[in-house]
Amino acid sequence: MTNFDLDPRTPVVVGVGQFAESLDAPGYQRLSAVDLAANAARGALDDTAADTASIAAAIDTVAGIRQFEISSPGWPAPLGKSDNYPRSVANRLRAAPARAILEVGGGQGPQHLVTELSAVIAAGDSEVALVFGSEAISTVQHLAKAPDKPDFTEHVEGSLEDRGFGLAGMSSQQSRTHGLTDAPSQYALFDNARRARSKQSRAEYASAMGELFAPFSKVAAANPYSSAPVERSAHELVTPTESNRIIAEPYTRYLVAREKVNQAAAVLIMSVAAARRLGVPEDKWVFLHGHADLRERSLLDRQDLSRGPASVMAAEHALEVAGIGVDDLATVDLYSCFPIPVFNICDGLGIDPADPRGLTLTGGLPFFGGAGNNYSMHAIAETVQRMRAQPGAFGFVGANGGTMSKYSVGIYSTTPVPWRACHSARLQAEIDSWPAPERAVHADGWGVIETYTVKHDRNGSRTGVVIGRLEADNRRFVAMTETGDDEILDRLSTGEPIGSRVYVRSFGFGNRVTTTEGRMDQLFPSRPAVFRDEYAHVLVRRDGHLLEITINRPEVRNSLHPPANEELAEIFDAYFADPDLWVAILTGAGDKAFSAGNDLVYSASGKPRWIPKTGFGGLTSRRDMPKPVIAAVNGFAMGGGCEIALASHLVVADETARFALSEVKVGLIAGAGGLIRLPRKVPANVANEMILTGRRLTAVEAESYGLVNRVAPAGKALEAARALAAEILDGSPTSVRISLQVMKETQGIADTFDAVTHQSPAVEELLVSADAIEGPAAFAQKRRPQWKNR
C-alpha cells in the first residue's frame, strides 16, 4: 500500500519533541511544568519540517498528562500550578484548540492518548491532535523554600475535559492500613513472588536484576535528556552502599524509578489529509500498526502475585493487531519503573532479558528518569525517531500505570497501514471475569506467606509487609510487622520466607504478623476487661449497678480520635464483662455536643487513623451488646456521634439536641453503620434525606420518627437517662439480658411464626436462674425483689 492509497482520515504521527533541564546545567531556567511541556511541543512542531505557525493554528485537540502534583487529591504544589494545564501549553504555542483533555493518572497515559486520539482522527472527529506531558519535580523541590521562588500559578479560560485522578482500583483501605502506600513496597511484592516462583536465591535474583538494568544505565548515559546519565555495572546497581541504600527488599535505590526530573515530551498526530495539506513530508510519517489497552485486577484481587497477565495480554494483542511477531520487532521499550514490569513482559512474550535489541530506547525510569506519568511519551518520541531511521522496521512501546495495573501498548512503523481497531474491550471483559481470592479483612490465626517485602527507612528502621493465606479457609490477608519485632523481620530478610507459616492477629489498627502465637502474645499481651483508675479522654462513674460514661473532649465538641475511641472500646469491654454493672449511660461533656463524630482536625493532621474492631465509640461494630446502653444526647449528635446513638439500645435527648449524618458535607459517608441503621429506624424518605443532604433532625422530630425514646428539657438529658436507667434497673437484669439476646437471635427471621417459635438456649438459662425464682417469690410475698443477675 502506498501513501496515496490511504484513507485521508488515517492517523499518522508526524512530530515528536523532548526537552529537559538540570539544576546544575549552564543556563538553568527554572522552568515550570507548563514551560517544559511547551518547549517539547515546539520541538514536536519543528520536527514536522513544515510551517509551525500553520500547524499550531490547525491543532484542534490538545491532551495533557497529569503531573504528580495534580495526580492525587491533596497533593501540594509548592510553587503553584495551572488550573488548565493543556490550555496553558496551547497558549504558549498560540494554538486555540476546540478540545482540551487532562488525562487520568498513570504511566499508561501517553500511549493510551496516542491510541485514543488516533482513533478519533480515523473516525473523522479530529484532524490535528497534540499530546504532551511534563514534570518539574526537581525544580519544585529545589526552589520550594527559596526566598525568591517563582510562582507557577496560572488561571486559564476555556473548556477542559478533566478525566479525574483515575485512582479507582489503584489502592484500598486495606492496603493503606498496612503500609502499602508507596510504589517500591508494592512492586517489591511482585518481584519477591517472581523470585520464589523461579526458585532463585536472593543473591541470584539480585544478580538478575542488576544484569537487567545495567544495559539500561548504559543507554541513559548516552541520552542527552537523561536525568542520571551514569553507566553502572550490574554489581554496583544491586550492592547496598550509603548512596545505594535498600528501599524495600529486594530494591536498592538504583533499581527504583527516579522521580526528581525536569523533563517533557510531546507527540503530534494528524490525519493523512491534514499532513498533506500542511506540507508535512512523508518521510516524517510514522503509523500506529498495533495497539491495546488493558487493566489488571486490583492488587489484592490477583490470583498470582508473581505475574501480570493483563499486561502480557495487551502486548500479545497489539502484536496480533499489527500482524507481526516478537521476532519482527527492531526496537523495544518496556516501562521500567522497577525490574518486575520488564521481567513480566519478557516472561510473557518469551524475550530474553539480555536480548541484543535491548529493552529500552531512553535508558529507563531509574536512569533516564521516571518523568511522573509521562515517561512513555519519551519512549514514543525515541521510537518514532528510530522508525524513521529504519524505514519499514517495527518498534514496540509498552506503557505501565499504577501497580502493574494498566498497560497500554503501541507498535510503530513507517510502513503505511490503514487504521485498525483492537479488541481490548472483549479481552477486558475476560480479565474482569477472573475469580479473585476471598479476603480476610480481619485476619486471625495461622497463615502461609504468599509474598512480602521489608521497607527500610533512612534512619535504619525496618517494617515488614506480608500478603498470605489463612490456613483455616485460604482467605487472603495483608499484615504488617510490629515495631521492634526482629524475630519476624529476620525471617523475612533471610532465606526463603514465601511458603512458610506465620501467625496473624487483627486489631482496630490493622493486622499484625509474627512467627508464632506465643510471640504474638508477647507483643500484644491480652488486656483484662477491667476499668482503669483514670482515662485521658473519657470520664467514668459507677453508681451501684449503673455506669455513666462521659466523652470528655468538649473543646472539640466531643469528637473522637483514635485514642478516645480506644478508651471507649476498653470501657465498654469492661462494662459488658462486669456482672455487677447492669445499665450504662453514654453522654458528652458540656452542653454543646453529645459527639460531633470523627475528629476531622486530627484526621487531617497526617497522624495514623483507625477505629477499634468494636467500632466507632467502641460500639458501632460490636457484635454482641448483652446489656443496655442508653445514649444521653445533649446538643449535637453529628456524623459518628449520630451513629453511636443509632447503635445504642435507647436514646434520651434534651430539646436542644440535633441528629445528623453529615458526612456528605465533608466528602465522606456514614460508614460506621449509619447507612444501615438509620433506614431501619426511621421512614425511608426521612433516612434518604438525612443521608443525602445532611439534614438535621430536632429532638422532637427524632422522637416522632422513633429515633429517640424520650425528650427532656434543655440540659436535662442525663437526668432523664438516669430516670430511664432506674426503670430498667427495677426489673431483673437477667430478664433484661435474656430479652436482648432473644431479640438479637430472632432479628433476621422474616417469618413471624418462625421467630415466635424460635427455641433460644437463652430462655433455658433464664428458667434456671436465681432471678426467675426470686421474681415470683417477691411478688407472692409482696416485697421488692432482690435481683442477683444469675
Mean pLDDT on 235-251: 96
Residue 109's pLDDT band (boundaries 50, 70, 90)? very high
Distance of alpha carbon 391 from alpha carbon 116, whole angstroms: 25
655: cell is 430539646
Distance of alpha carbon 362 from alpha carbon 423, whole angstroms: 29
pLDDT at 688 over 80: yes
Q: How many residues belong to the chain?
A: 790
- The distance of Cα 387 from the centroid of its chain, to the nearest Å, equals 38
Mean pLDDT on 605-612: 82
Strand partners, 282: none
pLDDT at 168 over 80: no
Identify whether the C-beta of residue 691 lies closer than 8 Å to the C-beta of residue 661.
Answer: yes
pLDDT at 1 over 70: no
Q: What pLDDT shows up at residue 170?
A: 61
Annotation marks residue 663 as catalytic: yes
Residue keyed to cell 505557525: 53
Distance of alpha carbon 329 from alpha carbon 320, whole angstroms: 13
* Tens of pLDDT, residues 214-231: 999 999 999 999 999 999
Per residue, the 3-state secondary structure of 646-680, as one string, reads HHCCEEEEECCCEEECCHHHHCCCCCCCHHHHHHH
Q: What pLDDT shows up at residue 548?
A: 97
Q: What pLDDT shows up at residue 228?
A: 92
Q: How many other C-beta atoms lie within 10 A of the C-beta of residue 460?
A: 7
Mean pLDDT on 361-376: 95
* Tens of pLDDT, residues 729-771: 988 887 788 888 888 878 888 888 777 778 878 777 767 777 7
Strand partners, 102: 64, 162
Choosing from 663, 701, 719, 765, which is the catalytic residue? Answer: 663
Residue 590's pLDDT band (boundaries 50, 70, 90)? very high
Residue 152's pLDDT band (boundaries 50, 70, 90)? very high
620: cell is 458501632
Annotation marks residue 482 as catalytic: no
694 Cβ contact partners less than 8 Å away, ≥ 6 residues apart: 660, 661, 662, 663, 664, 665
3-state secondary structure of 751: coil
Long-range CB contact pairs, 479-485, < 8 A, 24+ = 479/178, 479/443, 479/504, 479/510, 479/511, 479/512, 479/513, 480/178, 480/179, 480/510, 480/511, 480/512, 480/513, 481/512, 481/513, 481/514, 482/512, 482/514, 482/523, 482/524, 485/514, 485/519, 485/523
Higher pLDDT: 214 or 174? It is: 214
* Tens of pLDDT, residues 519-576: 999 999 988 999 999 999 999 999 999 999 999 999 999 999 999 999 999 999 999 9
Strand locations in 144-253, DSSP E? 161-162, 246-248, 251-252
Mean pLDDT of the chain: 93
Distance of alpha carbon 649 from alpha carbon 123, whole angstroms: 63
573 to each of 244, 614, 649, 722, 790, how far by Cα in Å? Answer: 49, 9, 16, 21, 19
pLDDT at 785 over 90: no
- pTM to 2 decimals? 0.90
Element (H, E) at 599: none
Residue 53's pLDDT band (boundaries 50, 70, 90)? very high
3-state secondary structure of 92: helix
3-state secondary structure of 769: coil
3-state secondary structure of 400: strand
Choosing from 643, 719, 727, 774, which is the catalytic residue? Answer: 643
